[in-house]
Every structure is written in structure tokens, then in C-alpha cells.
Amino acid sequence: MRNERNQQAELSDVFQQHAEAYQSRYSLCSSQQKAFDAIRGCRTAAMGSHSSSCDSCGHKNMSYNSCRNRHCPKCQYLKQVVWVDKLQGRLLPTRYFHIVFTVPEFFKRLFYLNQRKCYDLLFKASGRAIQKAAANPSFLGAEGGCLSVLHTWGQSLHYHPHIHCLVPAGGLDADGMEWIEAHKKFFVPVKALSKIYRGIFMKLLEGLLNEEQLKIPEKDTALYSDRKALKQRCYAGLWHVHIKKTFKGGNQVVSYLGRYTHRVAISNSRILSLEADKVSFKWKDYRDNRWKVMDLEPMCFINRFMQHILPTGYYKIRYFGLFAAVNSKTKMAQCFALMQTAPKASVYQGLSMYEVLKMVTGKDIATCPSCGKGRMLTRDKEVIPEHEQP
């Protein structure tokens, strides 16, 4: 078999070794079960295989197929590369801010029980907050936009739903005739943005509660039944909104984006070892900005990972304001015109995944590994990296 491994312990090994014990103790919803089975069987006989042979020397290779599940740490790389390349054509050549929106700790049970509706709520509240702040004449006085990415985890794999936003440092004026550049600092103070975000969030949440669209956790029945008490708790302090690095242009943004868009809760490179009674992995403690090692009992480790399986078909990347698809040929086109530039052409558009892989790695996997001259063919076609197909 041709499938190669870069390290000894992987997420799939944890699932494989402890599948029977875990599934006898815990029940999974359909999306979790699908992801669990896919990751467990990725690049093994459970996923089937494909073979190829050299048209010169006859050398044969057989490789197991990949699961292609979006939560699998082995099946995301080329998807990420192609998506980021496509995104380059949608980014304006200006500075960018990176903003992270979080929710108070006591909301996490409600979020986990109502993932689709609460994640939608988080997207809408953060996206509208940025648009409202940008439109305020006291701040920027222009139409802004953002690209938003949902994450549900922290470094230690605890459940921590939050939104990463990339926001251009400027906006289009009301007449659509001028691009208004923001100052070096973000165009709205972080405390003001936090208050705007909190207000929009609470209004949307109150609407969902009034319409009885949310399941209330048993432990929080008293809290959500008393709206006055809920508001007092929510408005007791500022919500955490972090404005992070400032980027100078689209290329720098794109290289940074790749770390966030198609990331899963933990990469295989962070898993250090797997033993019968523990899984060891490295994590970054942002309190002192140091990498540390955490040991978890296998059942606990799997439980933490399974919390981050998204509902089937849920989109974790969204666009707001100027970046919304409805504005791509109108307002965004006007922004490019005002900046006297054109959208960057896609490098990989129209290419097969085999061609993309060759460009990214500089290696031609269709070259025979035995004779080095022939071409590896599968059903009279050059071998395609099936495990990296979209």
C-alpha cells in the first residue's frame, strides 16, 4: 500500500483503538457518527482502494482511499489551498483587521443544544455589528464588510464557539463614489464594538426565545424563563471582542487565512503519543504564550473532539456587507475601480487536483517511483491523488 504516514500517532488511531469502548458508553448524533466512522476508516481498507500501474515497467501501486470528511485532519490541505487561491480574487488591496467575537461562558450549554440556530445567531450578530459600526458617521461613515469563520474550540479542545472576522480597513461611501480609508487603528473603539455586538446579539436571542425556537438546557431553565434576570446577567460586563493583527494587504491576509478556514479541532501534528490510558498532545496556553503538553484519558479526548463536529451541511465560512455574494459584481467591482486595480486571477481555476498538487508540492506523483520514467496509470488515465480530490 502506498499510503504513507508522517508520524506514529494520529487522530484516526485514537478512534480506531477505542471505538468499541467509546460507542458502548456514549451515543452520537448522525453527523457525529458519520464523522467518527469516516475519520476512523480514513486511508484504510474500510474506505476501499485504487490501483495504478506504470505504462513503462509495469510497476503497480495500490492506495487506500480517503474519507474526504471535512473534520478529518488528513483531508483538508488541498481544499484549503484551492479555496484560499479563489478568495484572493475577492479581497480588496487594502489593510485588514482580524477581529474575534466570543460569547459569555454561561451561553455555551444553550449553543451546544441548539447549534444551527445559535451559530447562525453568532454569525449575524458579529457581521451586523461590524457593518453598523462602519456605517456610523462618528466612526467610519461607510459601508464595510467582513469574511467570517466559525470555530468552536480552544487549544485544549474545550467547547468555545467564536467567530474570526477579517475586516477591510475602510469602506465604500453612501454614494458609492469614494473609498474611505480607516485610520491606522481600527475604525471603532473595541469597547464600542463590544456594546454594539452585545446589543444585536441580545435582540436576536430575545426574538428566538419569544418564538420558542430554542431548546433550553435543564440547568438553565430558571435563567431563560426570567428575561429580566437574563438581561442583567448579559449586561453586567463587556463581552470579549479581540482586535488582533493588522495586515498590510491581500496577500498577507490570504496566507494568514489558510490557518483558520479549513482547520479542524486538532491536527495530527499536535498529537504526541497514544497509550492505553492516555492521549498526549501539545497545546498553546495563551495566558503565558507557551506551548505545553496535556494528557487526557482516551474517552475524554474523543468526547472533546466530538463536540466540534458541525451539523451536516452547515457552512462555517460566510461573507457580509461588501463581501456578500450579491455585491460581487456591483459594489465590490466599484471598490476595485476606485482603487484603480483589478481582482487577482485565480492560479488554480480549471485545474485538476492532480495538477494543483503538482504545482503546490513540485512533485509529479504520476511519475513511476520504480523506473522514474513511466507514467502511473489508473484505467488508462494518469493517477490522480484520490485522497485529495474535492
| Per-residue confidence (pLDDT) for residue 304, from 0 to 100 | 97
| Cα–Cα distance list, 206 to 131, 189, 200, 231, 275 (Å) | 21, 26, 10, 10, 47
All cell numbers assigned to 85? 487561491
Q: What is the number of H-type helices and E-type strands within the chain?
A: 12, 14
Interval 147-171 mean pLDDT: 94
The predicted structure's pLDDT at residue 164? 92
Q: How far apart are CA 280 and CA 303, in angstroms?
A: 15
Q: Which residue has the higher pLDDT, 252 or 57?
A: 57
313, 294 in Cβ contact below 8 A?
A: no
The residue among 300, 119, 305, 113 whose CA lies nearest residue 219 is 113
pLDDT for the residue numbered 49? 85
pLDDT at 390: 36
- The pLDDT of residue 252 is above 80: no
In the three-class reduction of DSSP (H, G, I as helix; E, B as strand; rest coil), residue 317 is classed as strand
User: Please, which pLDDT band fits residue 86 given cuts at 50, 70 and 90?
Assistant: confident
Provide the pLDDT confidence category of residue 178 given band limits of 50, 70 and 90: very high
Name which of 108-122, 138-152, 230-244, 341-355 the model is least confident about: 341-355
Q: Do 390 and 79 meet the contact criterion of CB atoms below 8 Å apart?
A: yes
What class has domain 77-265+308-338? alpha beta
User: So where are the chain's domains?
Assistant: 11-72+361-388, 77-265+308-338
Q: Is the pLDDT of residue 379 over 70?
A: no
Choose between 111 and 388: higher pLDDT.
111
Query: What are the C-alpha distances in Å from 14 to residues 52, 76, 147, 157, 291?
Result: 30, 19, 34, 15, 22
| Cβ pair 325, 147 in contact under 8 A | no
Residue 381: predicted pLDDT: 52
When the pLDDT of each residue in the chain is averaged and rounded to a whole number, the result is: 89
d(CA 70, CA 385): 17
User: How far, in Å, are 126, 200, 385 from residue 121 at the CA level?
Assistant: 9, 9, 38
Cell numbers placing 7 = 508520524
Spatial CB neighbours of 113, under 8 Å, sequence gap ≥ 6: 214, 215, 216, 217
Q: What pTM was estimated for this model as a whole?
A: 0.90
Helices 11-25 and 298-306 cross at an angle (nearest 10°) of 90
